[in-house]
Amino acid sequence: MHSYDIERYLNIRSAYGASFGPDGERLSFLLDTTGTPQLWTLEEPRGWPEQRTFYDERVTFASWSPERPELLFGMDEGGNERAQLFRLDAETGAIENVTAMPEAKHRWGGWSHDGDRFAFTSNRRDESVFDVYVQNRDETGSDAELVYEGDGWLSLSGWSPDDSRLLVSQAYSNFDQDLSVLDLETGDLEHLTPHDGDVRYQSANWAPDGKGIYLVTDEGEAETLYLAYLDLETGDLEPVVDGEWNVDGIALDDDTGRFVYSENVEGYTELTVGEFDGADPTAFETFPEPDLPGGVSGGVSFGPDAERVALSTTGDTVNTNVFVVDVETGETERWTDAPTAGIPPESFAESNLDHVESFDDLSVPGFFTLPDGHEAGATPVIVDIHGGPESQRRPSFSSVKQYFLDRGYAYFEPNVRGSSGYGAEYASLDDVEKRMDSVADIRACVEWLQDHPAIDPDRIVAKGGSYGGFMVLAALTEYPDLWAAGIDIVGIANFVTFLENTGDWRRELREAEYGSLAEDREFLEEVSPINHIENIDAPLFVLHGENDPRVPVGEAEQIAEQAAEQGVPVRKLLFEDEGHGFSKLENRIEAYSAIAEFLDEHV
């Protein structure tokens, strides 16, 4: 079988982030065919799309006005995550920066139903907190009205059906949130979810009559997220759908009561499409399940009459594309044609879901993929550890993974304790003082791989980004004899300097997971890989973006310098125009070409 270089694999495209225009005929979406995600529109299935934005920077989302041929989209600069909002006139192509405050972050909150206004949260007033703003569609910059001063991490979940109220979420951690309703006339904020301990209230949507909220939650010490209805008058929370697996979220059309909710079944998406009964908010009918390729779907957008929904879908062997689903029949039609760079899709390898028994008998799930033509006992393997840590590796398409499979590497993607998707207890098993138990899970996974008949036990690579980068460094310092090499991408080397230097708006959220500088400094120092650097034996490659607002570039600089002083073979690669990860094609090509060369040399 023919092999392809990394540039070909990284030219495999993704189309996602769909939004229906107000006439229901045009569809917008994001596509990275130019090297960074840009905004495109399309008028028919698999027709010739029209590119609408032409920037070197990534477009992060786009949303059509419900009434006019215009869109709002978000874009930051150099990966700094200080997103600005822009308005695109779909008829003339004119684009205007409507926030125009480059030092502040802007988090999209949705259009009003009449399309005259939009809402967002921003840290303009104080970098460490987010306030709520409402802005007329033809205003810019400081014209926006500050309608509520926040005291933490605020985001918006949409306008009430009569546009008089906004649904406000406040996050204290990834597993603890509150919901409130902001009255735009009086400025009063009504707290909806008083609770003790950590409770998640997520994916909130207004009911069509404005008298209640649909959301997913684990209130009542539920092990998994369930779909519920919150009555705004009584405060009662009634379960609508619960089960063994998380209900990840719900998309709801507040004109018709039609919905799509997704369940996360060991990483695979199961969709339910239906319509709520107006008389009983917990009753609903379901429609046939859409027949979609791949195993992971999301990003649902209803058409203006709710007869169709657009969503994106992906899988191990299926690059991401946008499909449109007929709500009542479940019939699906692919609308976008993101190419695979001439690489035959049948050459892509599919993973198996395996489970590894860890040191305390905990079952750790992971996706394991073997390359074609592998030789018994001679196959190197990359252990690719996700970030978060409250995230989950799912069987979605990865051009990087397929590239390394093409080069003869096996690939193992564990969801160690602390990962989301497997219940609240599993997600809490790595909190603060239990941090290193998740690193011990990696050891168990490596021992499982060493016993696998295809794997060469002396050629096992640790790779990870962000918190996954910490896991790589921790695995290399805690269990140095297991590894042939380590790849640390935008990773945390020192929890103390990380928390001291991360964006002000993020510190409190991250301390809720890792421990606080005030109370847990000694522990944070103890688990920081930088303080065990003398243990590293394996060659190390450190990559980072200089504009990273989450994990500052100093984390890469200090680990690379101190590892080199220990005599470890170290390579460091920094990108001056990137942030937390690499979004530009030329940088991704350089990064993964360098990683491949590094592994060729050392593995």
Kindly report, residue by residue over 192-250, the tens digit of the pLDDT: 999 999 999 999 999 999 999 999 999 998 999 999 999 999 999 999 999 889 999 99
pLDDT of residue 1: 59
> Tokens at residue 351, please?
């993973």
Mean pLDDT to the nearest integer, 407-424 = 95
Q: CA 362, 364, 365 angle in degrees (round to 5)?
A: 150
- In Å, the largest CA–CA distance within the chain is 71
Digit-coded pLDDT (tens) for 470-481: 999 999 999 999
Mean pLDDT to the nearest integer, 93-122 = 97
Q: Is the predicted pLDDT of residue 508 greater than 80, yes or no? A: no
Domain edges within the chain:
349-602
> Tokens at residue 14, please?
């993704």
**Region label for 93, one of left (φ > 0), alpha (ψ between -120 and 50) or beta (otherwise):** left
pLDDT of residue 547: 92
Transcribe 169-216 into DSSP letters: EEEEETTEEEEEEEETTT--EEE----SS---EEEEEE-TTSSEEEEE
Q: Give the count of alpha carbons within 13 A of 596, CB side only.
A: 21
Q: Is the predicted pLDDT of residue 117 greater than 90, yes or no? A: yes
Best CA proximity match to 427, nearest among 528, 513, 298: 513
The structure tokens 């705004």 sit at 232
The pLDDT confidence band at residue 123, using thresholds 50, 70 and 90, is: very high
Per the prediction, the chain carries an average pLDDT of 95
Q: What does DSSP assign to residue 581?
A: B
Mean pLDDT to the nearest integer, 411-436 = 92
CATH 3.40.50.1820, applies to 349-602: yes
Contacts of 417 (CB under 8 A, 6+ apart): 358, 362, 364, 426, 429, 430, 434, 437, 438, 441
> Tokens at residue 315, please?
């899988």
The pLDDT confidence band at residue 518, using thresholds 50, 70 and 90, is: confident
Mean pLDDT to the nearest integer, 304-310 = 95
